[in-house]
Amino acid sequence: MTSPSLQEIRDFKGTYPKQLYYLFGTEMWERFCFYGLRGMLVVFMATQMAMPEKQANLQYGAIQAFVYAFTFIGGVFADKILGFQKSLFWGATLMIIGGFVIAAAPTEFFYIGICFNIIGTGFFKPNISTMVGQLYHEGDHRRDAGFGLFYMGINLGAFLGGLLMVWIGKEYSWRWAFALVGIVMIISLINFAFRRKSFGPIGLSPLHPDMPAGKRRFYEVAVYLGSLITIPAIYMMVTNTDYTDLFMYIVGPVTLIYLMWEMRTFSRAENMKLAAALVFIIFSIFFWAFFEQSGGSLSLFALNNLHPTLFGITMDPNSVNNAANSLFVIAFSALVGLLWLWLSKRKAEPNSVVKFGLGFLLLGAGFYIFKSTLGFANKDGLTSMEIFTLAWFVITFGELCLSPIGLSLMTKLSPVRIQGLMMGMWFLASAYGQYAAGLLGADMSTADPNASNLDKLRSYTEGYGQLGLYALIAGVVLVVISPFVRKLMREVN
C-alpha cells in the first residue's frame, strides 16, 4: 500500500475521510479499557481492598488525575520527539502490560499495573485526537462532524467497557476483568498497525529528516526509558494522596509557564486564539470535577443506594451508572449534530462559548435530579434507578454541548506546532477535574463507616444539590462572557 500525501488525505470526498474510521476503531477499544477501568476502580477498592469510602474516593481522584496529567506529558513528547504514531504504539504497549500485571494478582499488583496504565494512556490518548484534527484543511467545515463521529466511537467503547468490565469483576472474576484491558488493547494496536500507512505523513516524528539515524534513535529510546524510570515516583504519588496534592499544585503552574514560553514565538492573532483556548480549558476543569463523580461517588451511590431493577428488568446498578451516559451519547450525538446544522442554516446556531454554557446548565439540572432521588428512597436507603438514569439522560446532552466541541476547538485554536501540547492541556484540565472530583466525593461521603445506607444517601444527595447550583452559576457566567471570548477566537466559530 502506497502512503498518500497530506494533500491527498485532506482532499477527500464526502463527509468523512477513510482514515477517521481507522482512528475510530483504534480509539474505541482504548476507551473500552479506560471507561471499564474507571467504572471498576472505586468498587474494586471498596469491596476487594477494604478501603473506607472516603479513602476510595480520594484514591480514585488521584489515579484518574495522574492518567490525565500524563496526557500532557505524552502530548509534549509526541510534538517534540516521537510523533503521534510511535506515541500510540508505546502507549498501547504499556497499557497491555498494565492490564496483564493486575490480572496476575489483582490486590497485590494493583498499583503497579495502574502505573503502567497511567503512562500508557498518557502517550495514547491526546495524540489520537490530534491526528483526527490533522485529517482536515484549515477552515474545513466538516471537521466538527468528524469529531462528532470520532466521539461516538469513544462512547461505543465506553459503553461496552462500562457495561461489561465491572459486571465481570463483580459476578465472575476480577482477574478476567483486568485481563480484558490487555486483550482489548492488543486488538486496538493491531487495528492501527494494519492501517498505519494510510495516514501518510500525519503523526510521523517531528525530528528533522536530516538528523542522523543514531541520534534520532537515541532521543526515542531516551523517551521510552525515561517514562519507565518514572514508575516508582508514580507509584509513590498514587499510593499516598499527599504527594498527589503536591504534584497537582506544581504541574498546572509549570504547564502554564511552558505555554507562555511557547507563545512568545507566535503572532498576536495566534496568541489571542490561544487565550480563548485557555478559557475553555479552565471552565472544563469545573465541568469534569462534577461530571466525573460518575467513577467516584456515583459508583458508590450505585453500589449502595440503587434498586437493582430498571423498568422491571434486573440490572447491575454499577453497569447502568457506567454505561448509561455512553449509550445516550451514541443514541443522540448525531441528533444533536443535526440540530446544530439545522440552526446554522437558519443563522441561529449558538457559538461555541454559548454551547459550553448550555453544557453547564444541563449538567446542573442533572445533578438536581440526582438530588431528587432522596424523595424516592425506602427506609433501607434504596432509591429509583429510573430517576438516576434520567439524570444521566439530561447530563448527556450537557456533555454533547461541551466535550466533542472542546476537542475540535483545541485543534482549531492551536498553531499546528503545538497542537499536541494544547490537546494535552485539554486533558490536563480533565486531570484537575478528576482530582477535584475525588476531593468532592470524599467530602460528600460519611465519616462514619457504620453509617446506614439512608444516611449515605442523604449525604451524597445533599452534595449533588450543591454541585448542581455551582454548575448553573458557571453556565450563566459563560453565556454572559461569550461576546468577549468570541473576539479572542477571531475567525474560529
Q: What is the DSSP string of 268-324?
A: HHHHHHHHHHHHHHHHHHHHHHHHGGGTTHHHHHHHHHB-SEETTEE--HHHHHHHH
Residue 417 grid cell:
506546532
- Which triple of cell numbers denotes residue 41? 476502580
pLDDT single digits (tens) 158-172:
888 888 888 898 888
CA angle 10, 14, 20 (to 5 degrees): 55
3-class SS at 307? coil
Q: Please check whether residue 389 lies inside any domain of the structure.
A: yes
Task: Give the whole-number percent of the chain exceeding pLDDT 90.
Answer: 15
pLDDT for res 1: 57
For residue 449, what pLDDT is reported? Answer: 66
Residue 392 reports pLDDT greater than 90: yes
pLDDT digits (tens, 9 = 90+) for 314-341: 888 888 888 888 889 888 877 887 787 7
**Which range has the worst mean pLDDT, 211-220, 307-316, 342-351, 383-392?**
342-351
Query: Range of 15's domain?
Result: 6-489
Least reliable range by pLDDT among 125-129, 282-286, 344-348: 125-129
Between 224 and 265, where is the model more confident?
A: 224
> Cell numbers at residue 215, please?
541520534
Question: Which residue from 314, 319, 320 is spatially nearest to 388, judged by alpha carbons?
Answer: 320
pLDDT surpasses 80 at 472: yes
- The radius of gyration computed from the CA coordinates of the chain, to the nearest angstrom, equals 22
CA-to-CA distance for 220 and 207, rounded, in angstroms?
10
Cα gap 406→307, rounded to integer Å? 35
- For residue 310, list its beta bridge partners: 313
pLDDT of 419 higher than 80: no
> Which residue, chain included where needed, has cell 476483568?
177
Predicted local distance difference test score (pLDDT) of residue 338: 76
Residue 176: CATH number of its domain: 1.20.1250.20
Cell output for 382: 434504596
What total of structural domains would you count in the chain? 1
C-alpha to C-alpha distance for 447 and 47, rounded to whole angstroms = 17
- List, for residues 311-320, the tens digit of each pLDDT value: 888 888 888 8
E strand or H helix at 165, and its extent? helix 143-171
More confident residue, 419 or 458: 458
Give the DSSP H or E segment for 374. none
Global pTM reads 0.79
pLDDT 10s digits, 206-257: 777 777 878 888 888 888 998 899 899 889 888 887 777 788 888 788 888 8
Pair 145, 16: CB distance under 8 Å: yes
**Mean pLDDT of the 263-291 span:** 86
Note the pLDDT of residue 414.
81
Average pLDDT of the chain?
84
296 domain residue, yes or no: yes
Given a cut of 60, is residue 138 above it in pLDDT?
Answer: yes
For the stretch 380-400, what's the b/e string if a residue is b when 16 or more beta carbons lie within 10 angstroms of its beta carbon? Answer: ebbbbbeebbbbbbbbbbbbb
- Report how far apart, in Å, the C-alpha atoms of 247 and of each of 224, 261, 386 are: 22, 21, 40
Does residue 417 carry a pLDDT above 80? no
For residue 256, count other CB atoms closer than 10 A to its CB: 12
Residue 464 lies in a domain: yes
Residue that is written with C-alpha cell 425506602 in the block:
378
Q: What is the mean pLDDT of residues 387-407?
A: 86
The predicted-structure confidence for 13-65, as pLDDT tens digits, reads as follows: 877 888 888 888 888 888 888 888 888 888 888 888 888 878 887 888 888 88
First-last CA distance in the chain: 38
Confidence of residue 446 (pLDDT cuts 50, 70, 90): low
Which pLDDT belongs to residue 19? 81
At 493 the pLDDT is 62
**Tens of pLDDT, residues 98-133:** 999 999 998 899 999 999 999 998 888 767 777 787
Residues 6+ apart with CB under 8 A from 438: 57, 58, 59, 60, 61, 62, 64, 65, 296
Q: Does 1 fall in a domain?
A: no
pLDDT at 395 over 90: yes
Which has more pLDDT, 168 or 142?
A: 168
